Chain A
Amino acid sequence: MIAGHSRVRALVALVLAACLAAPAGAAPGAVILSTTTSMQDSGLLDVLVPMFERATGHTVKTIAVGTGQALALAARGEADVTLAHAPDVERRYVAEGKLLNRRLVMYNDFVVVGPEADPAKLRGEPSAVAALRRIAAARARFVSRGDKSGTHLLEQKLWRLARVLPAGPWYIESGQGMGATLALADDRRAYTLADRATYLAFGRRVALKVLVEGDRPLLNVYSVLEVDRANGSRVNAAGGRAFADFLLAPETQAVIRGFGVERFGRPLFVPIAGRPDADFE
């Protein structure tokens, strides 16, 4: 009875204290950054966002979703700035006037990974497109993200270039993030397309091997795009612009260049601020 009472009091006190300590709502004028799950999973934003917040006093809300959704959110004015990696879709939004001032920030690269046994004989194949064609010809299992993410959009582009319509029991759609997709591919002894950062992070957990790398289409180029005020009256255009400028500043680019060395023994990203789009076509 007594014990019950003290427990009640302890619980009530805890909840009350919790309510008082609860953080207030967002500061007005917070910058909403929409970006991709693979960007968030790389951990780079955990370094860059606090730097930006310290330097400018802005608060950043990072919303990590698939690239398709990240761009759509920004185009609807539900975000103030977006960091994406789907150049074709980005250019379309810019052409439609929904997103502004697309600037290249950095790239990392994609790799085609697969089982040690390599049933489609990809080892030594330099071209990603040719590699996918071989997978289809061998009807070897391939796991697709199937989620309209930047990785998925690139994969679809490669299939188009290979003139293959991927379908059939060998083509598996995971509908999940890169990590879960790698785990699925490992489990099914299947091939998949992965960004190198996530692959390295999973390196110890999966037996998949890098089979194709370094091909031009496999470069994963990240761009920052700003949101037009016309997309919504509540868009924080100044905050979005400040974040975009911050990503391209020399000091930030230097931090990007060094990121990942500590954990993986090699940088994960190559900064490319100021480089023209044509260099990465």
Chain B
Amino acid sequence: MDLLLGGVRQAVALLLAGDGETWAILWLSLVVSGSATLISLAIGIPTGTALALVRFPGRGLVVSAVNAGMGLPPVVVGLLVTLVLWRGGPLGGLELLYTPAAIILAQVVIAAPIVAGMTLAAVQQIPREFRLQLLALGASRVQMVWVVLREARLPMLAAVMAGFGGVISEIGASLMVGGNIKSQTRTLTTAMVLETGKGNFDVAIALSILLLVLVFLVNWALTGIQQRGTGP
């Protein structure tokens, strides 16, 4: 118990002292997971919307694949991305392995199905009659999709939160494709595992607190957007 309390005390001291390395790790985590989330939105929202609105043969299979992808184990993604990015692998020539870009790539693979799957569900819960009415009122297809997405924005922001929450907290993929290299690819979660392994529990606790605060702040901002104009 005193280890935990002492750890929290030392954690606060570490944060207040403005340790440069800690802040660099925090920043890298935010940049990597933020970029990965943005890219996942760019891929996941159109995919999810299209799957919700368009009927085509084999759609059931694709939807099942997207839904299964929402539960992709990060460590599996990490292994696959590592094999692809290895010098001897298909994309080895890009020299991306052990860079922040590699972590972003892996996190996109993790987050894009989450965004796509939740967008799909969000758009599908808008009644079909509503869409038909819009078209009947003279809306173009693009206008119809736009209005539908606006209507679905509450659950879709939940998709953003789930995507970001999934990647900022994952460890398996970041460790494998990033390599946990000091001041290059060390993120909050990989640093936590390292410090725990070294027995520096106070630093690990400090990093945990940072991660929780970061996740809270991002979700607080997103909740601000989500709840805008939805007073009781």
The residues in B between 1 and 48 inclusive whose CB is less than 8 angstroms from any CB of A are: 3, 27-28, 30-32, 34-35, 38
A9-39 contact mask (Cβ, 8 Å, vs B): 1 or 0: 0110011001101110110101010000100
A178 to B32, CA, bound (A): 29
| Chain A residues whose C-beta falls within 8 Å of the C-beta of B90 in the assembled complex | none
CA distance A254 to B94 in the complex (A): 38
**Chain B residues positioned under 8 Å from A62 (CB to CB):** 179, 181-182
**Chain B contacts for A4, CB-based, 8 A:** 224-225, 227-229
**Distance between A237 CB and nearest chain B CB, rounded to angstroms:** 13
In the complex the two chains form, what is the Cα distance from A23 to B31 in whole Å?
10
A57 to chain B, nearest CB (A): 16
Q: Which of B196, B222, B224 has the most CB of A within 10 A?
A: B224
B87 at the A/B interface (Cβ < 8 Å)?
A: yes
Within 8 Å CB of A76, what residues of B?
86, 88
Which of chain B's residues have a CB closer than 8 A to the CB of A15? Answer: 34-35, 38
Contact call B95/A3, Cβ cutoff below 8 A: no
Q: Which residue of A lies closest to B222 (CB)?
A: A11
Which residues in window 88-141 of B have CB below 8 A to A? Answer: 88, 92-96, 98-101
CB < 8 Å A-B pair total: 106
A28 in contact with B197 (CB, 8 Å): no
Secondary structure class of chain B's binding surface, majority of residues = helix
B35, B87, B94, B222 — which one has the most chain A CB atoms within 10 A of its CB?
A: B87
Is A44 engaged at the interface, CB distance under 8 Å to the other chain? no
Q: Across the interface, which residues of B come within 8 angstroms of A40, CB to CB?
A: 194
Say how far A233's CB is from chain B's closest CB, in angstroms.
Answer: 8
Distance to closest chain B CB from A280 (angstroms): 27
The residues of A that contact B55 with a CB separation of less than 8 Å are none
Could you say which of B181, B182, B199, B221 contacts A7, with CB atoms under 8 Å apart? B221
Please name all residues of chain B whose beta carbon is closer than 8 Å to the beta carbon of A41 when the two chains form the complex.
Answer: 194, 197-198
Tell me, in angstroms, the Cα distance from A49 to B86 when the chains sit together: 23
Inter-chain CA distance A15–B92, complex, in Å, is 29
- For chain B residues 169-191, which have a beta carbon within 8 Å of chain A? 179-182, 184
Chain A, 56-109, CB within 8 A of any chain B CB:
61-64, 76-78
Once the chains bind, are B100 and A8 in contact (CB under 8 Å)? no
Check if B152 is an interface residue, CB within 8 A of chain A: no
Q: Indicate whether A7 sits within 8 Å of B225 (C-beta atoms), given known contacts A61-B181, A179-B196, A179-B198.
A: yes
Do B98 and A201 touch across chains, with their CB atoms under 8 A apart?
Answer: no
CA distance A180 to B101 in the complex (A): 30
Cβ of A232 and Cβ of B179 under 8 Å apart? Answer: no
In the complex, whether B215 has a CB less than 8 A from a CB of chain A is: no
Within 8 Å CB of B94, what residues of A? 25
With a cutoff of 8 Å between Cβ atoms, the chain B residues found around residue A10 in the complex are 221
What distance in Å separates the Cβ of A185 from its nearest Cβ neighbour in chain B? 13
Contact between A22 and B35 (Cβ–Cβ < 8 Å)?
Answer: yes
Q: Indicate whether A177 reaches chain B with its CB closer than 8 angstroms.
A: yes
Quote the shortest CB–CB distance from B90 to chain A (angstroms): 13
Taken together as a complex, chains A and B put the C-alpha atoms of A49 and B182 apart, in Å, by: 10
Say which residue of A8, A18, A198, A202 sits within 8 Å of B31 (CB atoms): A18
**Cβ-based interface call for B149 (8 A):** no
Task: Provide the bound-state CA to CA distance between A179 and B194, in Å.
Answer: 10
User: Does B218 sit within 8 A of A, measured CB to CB?
Assistant: yes
Closest 3 CB pairs of A and B: A4-B228, A7-B224, A18-B31
26 residue pairs A–B, Cβ–Cβ below 8 Å: A1-B228, A1-B229, A3-B224, A4-B227, A7-B224, A11-B218, A14-B34, A15-B38, A18-B34, A19-B35, A22-B31, A22-B32, A25-B96, A41-B194, A41-B198, A46-B182, A61-B179, A62-B179, A62-B181, A62-B182, A63-B98, A78-B88, A178-B197, A179-B199, A198-B199, A202-B199
Report which B residues bind A (CB closer than 8 A).
Answer: 3, 27-28, 30-32, 34-35, 38, 86-88, 92-96, 98-101, 179-182, 184, 194, 196-199, 201, 218, 220-222, 224-225, 227-229
Q: Which residues of A contact B (CB under 8 A)?
A: 1, 3-5, 7-8, 10-11, 14-15, 18-19, 21-23, 25-26, 28, 30, 32, 37, 40-41, 43, 46, 49, 61-64, 76-78, 177-180, 198, 201-202, 205, 232, 234-235
Instruction: Known A-B contacts: A7-B225, A26-B98, A198-B199. Give 8 more (CB < 8 A).
Output: A18-B35, A21-B27, A25-B99, A25-B100, A61-B181, A78-B87, A202-B199, A235-B87
